[in-house]
Amino acid sequence: MTSVLHVAATGADDADGSAERPFRTINLAAAVAQPGDTVVVHAGEYREWVKPQRGGLSNTRRITYEAAAGEHVVIKGSERITGWVGEAGSVWRATVPNAMFGDFNPFTEEIAGDWIVYLPGNPRKHLGDVYLNGVSFYEVCSRAEVDAPPLRTEAVDDWTGVTSPIRDPKQTQFVWYAEVSADETTIWANFQGADPNAELVEINVRRAVFFPTEHHLDYITVRGFELCQAASPWAPPTADQPGLIGPNWAKGWVIEDNDIHDAKCSAVSIGKEASTGHNYATLRGDKPGYQYQLESVFAARSIGWDKEHIGSHVIRRNTIHDCGQNGVVGHLGCVFSTIEDNHIYNIAIKREFYGYEIGGIKLHAAIDVTIRHNRIHDCTLGTWLDWQTQGTRISRNLFHDNNRDLFVEVSHGPYLVEHNILASPAAVELWSQGGAFVHNLICGTVWLMPVMDRATPYHRPHSTQVAGYAFIIGGDDRWIGNLFVGGDAATAYGRTPEEHAGPAFAGTAGYDGYPASFEEYLARIAAQPPGDHQRFLNVKQPVYARGNVYASGAAPFAGETDALVLPAAAASVVVEGDGVYLETKLPVEFDRISLDPITGRDLERVRFADANFEEPDGTPAVMDTDVTGEHKQRDRRSAAGPIVDLSSGSSRTRVWMS
């Protein structure tokens, strides 16, 4: 028999969880909830780290945690701090006992681990944070800087070198500094004229907000909460990956309809656990992180990394924002998952710290993962798929106003990118092979890069079983029915193609010199001197391109015989209130291109993985829905780009509603 357990801010520790006698904390309900039960949490503020004690037994026998209908429930990883003492100017001081933190004090814990980058002379930052009326401060490195915080008017993207203005420079002067003794923590903060004893001032004290401490607590649903202000640690793919919320190495979680924000590092984690490697490259210093990451794949297989035990999570209809590292992060634990209908923004734009694992969505080993109909904007990097992107589908997403939109790194495919809008100056970065790009709008550059010093795994189709590993030679990509509108490397990366390591180009011209068919590729291999693997090292793989439209300086791959090159055209994303619109102005020649519906049967197989473009059930992939949700008819041709009825002239199409 299933039960409904109630939690209320007015509840009691000795209650029974009934509607008449609700529990006082969510953890009290979690201690008694059984498979099939629902925990209903009523309006109020709950300052606790919810640690589920058990999971459900199947998709139909879940344990569900949900906010009561129509009620606002917030769960915080912070505590309110009062008793601030004024010092000079706008600086105030508060001293709190270390007992408040237990065995985890964020103000002593450094943001550290594999793939973090601290330049010489750049002091390390900490997991602690201070919030004034919900807005986080910046950490400074000395007491003197609290008195006179520097005004930061612009920030430099460490990866691209692009300098961009800070939207609210004065916010960078809200700063804090802490000193920790054996018994207490003293925090100085510059409140810029606000009275911290009259306003809401909080500090983060807990590592997570909703995250089990045990593995394999499966089939849990978390719905309808505001979840915020956790001191979540740096989460690289070669370490334990805790987040503000996540399943912690389990299967079948559903995280939906939540407002998730202010994770110090990562908000939603569907990542790996510590036994398969935990910052060994940093702690031991004897092997590169790449090698430890490779080892983690095989270590995970030995502890049951497969579809029966791990992954298959659903993350949908959440608003995820204002986090330091990632909106969604995962390595290994993300397999077979779906991330859809989320609004992700303001990720890693404070730039308090930097590392190579940052993005609105940052996944490793994204096997059969669907990333569908998300709006991702104002992020250092929109989506970064790194290692083993196979069977993955990036579909109907809206990327805009990011430093970079989509980066696929050292993966062999097959992966499918279809009906997306990629509107940022640096639109697509491919250090991979085996991709298919179908009916996208690409307003920025495409950067191609072979990777011949890191061999990465590929898998049997729809499985975590490793089939082999290989370098990234480049190519083996498919481009059909895309619309390219401009793009400039100097704008995207702050330097010209000659200065940029890519280089990056508008359109597919970066593939010039690649074979245009598999037969041409085989002929080039046959023309090499005799030998085994040596014959393949310097021969690029084929590129299959047709039916693409290039405008405003974007240029086609030389091997594309039916490319349509147009004069000036325009496409831009416009935000108005709750709506987001795509505005286009296209010449009449645009209407010359129309395409039959594309399926997986129309896409050449991927060479290294020896795999086809398929749905998770093994049937050919179907791409029959455009970015607006319009269903394509089987017997009807459609325009190039992400909108089935896109045509010449000026048009304005709603592509997102908040």
Q: What is the pLDDT of residues 545-597, one digit of tens each?
A: 999 999 999 999 999 989 999 988 999 999 999 999 999 999 999 999 999 99
Rounded Cα distance, 199 and 335, in Å = 44
Residue 615 has pLDDT above 80, yes or no: yes
**What's the one-letter identity of residue 400?**
H
Compute the average pLDDT of residues 11-35. 98
Q: Provide CATH 3.30.1910 ranges for the chain.
A: 4-68
> Confidence class of residue 163 from pLDDT cuts 50, 70 and 90?
confident
Rounded Cα distance, 578 and 575, in Å = 8
Whole-prediction pTM value?
Answer: 0.97
Backbone angles phi, psi at 91, to 5 degrees: -90, 135
Rounded Cα distance, 151 and 149, in Å = 6
Rounded Cα distance, 540 and 303, in Å = 37
What is the DSSP pairing of strand 44-47 with strand 73-76?
parallel
Percent of the chain scored above 90 by pLDDT? 89
What is the DSSP pairing of strand 354-355 with strand 116-117?
antiparallel
DSSP states of 11-64 = EETT--SSSSS-ESSHHHHHHH--TT-EEEE-SEEEES-B--S---SBTTB-EE
3-class secondary-structure state, position 588: helix
Residue 153 has pLDDT above 90, yes or no: no
Rounded Cα distance, 402 and 425, in Å = 8
Rounded Cα distance, 327 and 320, in Å = 6
Tokens for 647, please give them: 């045509």
Compute the average pLDDT of residues 366-383. 97
Pick the CATH number of 80-204 from 2.30.30.30, 3.30.70.1710, 2.60.40.1180, 3.20.20.210: 2.60.40.1180
Cβ burial, residue 275 (10 Å; 0-12/13-18/19+): middle
**CA torsion sign, 586 to 596 to 547 to 419?**
positive
Cβ burial, residue 206 (10 Å; 0-12/13-18/19+): buried
Compute the average pLDDT of residues 141-162. 81
| The pLDDT value given to residue 294 | 96
| The pLDDT value given to residue 154 | 78
DSSP states of 107-163 = TT-BS-STTEE--TT-PPPBS--EEETTEE-EE-SSHHHHHS-----EEE-TTT--E
| The pLDDT value given to residue 388 | 97
| The pLDDT value given to residue 357 | 94
Rounded Cα distance, 443 and 455, in Å = 31
Fold held by 4-68:
so0334 like fold (3.30.1910)
Rounded Cα distance, 468 and 484, in Å = 35
Residue where the block lists tokens 């001032």: 201
| The pLDDT value given to residue 491 | 83
Compute the average pLDDT of residues 477-505. 81
| The pLDDT value given to residue 502 | 61
Where residue 290 falls (left for φ over 0; alpha for ψ -120 to 50; beta otherwise) is: alpha
| The pLDDT value given to residue 161 | 67
Q: Which helix (H) or strand (E) holds 506?
A: strand 504-506
Backbone angles phi, psi at 29, to 5 degrees: -70, -40
Compute the average pLDDT of residues 377-391. 97
Percent of the chain scored above 70 by pLDDT? 98
Q: Which residues contact 198 (CB under 8 A, 6 or more apart)?
A: none
Q: Which helix (H) or strand (E) holds 282?
A: helix 280-284
| The pLDDT value given to residue 633 | 84
> Confidence class of residue 120 from pLDDT cuts 50, 70 and 90?
confident
**DSSP annotation of 491:** H
Q: Judge if the upstream peptide bond of residue 497 is cis by omega within 30 degrees of 0.
A: no
Rounded Cα distance, 248 and 327, in Å = 16
> Confidence class of residue 501 from pLDDT cuts 50, 70 and 90?
low
Backbone angles phi, psi at 655, to 5 degrees: -120, -5
pLDDT in tens, 175-230: 999 999 999 999 999 999 999 999 999 999 999 999 999 999 999 999 999 999 99
Compute the average pLDDT of residues 40-55. 98
> Confidence class of residue 494 from pLDDT cuts 50, 70 and 90?
confident
Q: Which residue has the higher pLDDT, 247 or 172?
A: 247
Q: Which residues contact 622 (CB under 8 A, 6 or more apart)?
A: 599, 600, 615
Compute the average pLDDT of residues 320-344. 98
> Confidence class of residue 93 from pLDDT cuts 50, 70 and 90?
very high
Write a three-state SS string for 598-622: CEHHHCCCECCCCECCECCCCCECE
> Confidence class of residue 371 from pLDDT cuts 50, 70 and 90?
very high
Rounded Cα distance, 464 and 47, in Å = 38
Q: Provide CATH 2.60.40.1180 ranges for the chain.
A: 80-204
Contacts made by residues 448-451, CB under 8 angstroms, sequence distance 24+: 448/474, 448/502, 448/510, 448/511, 449/474, 449/501, 449/502, 450/474, 450/540, 451/409, 451/410
How high is the mean pLDDT of the chain?
A: 95
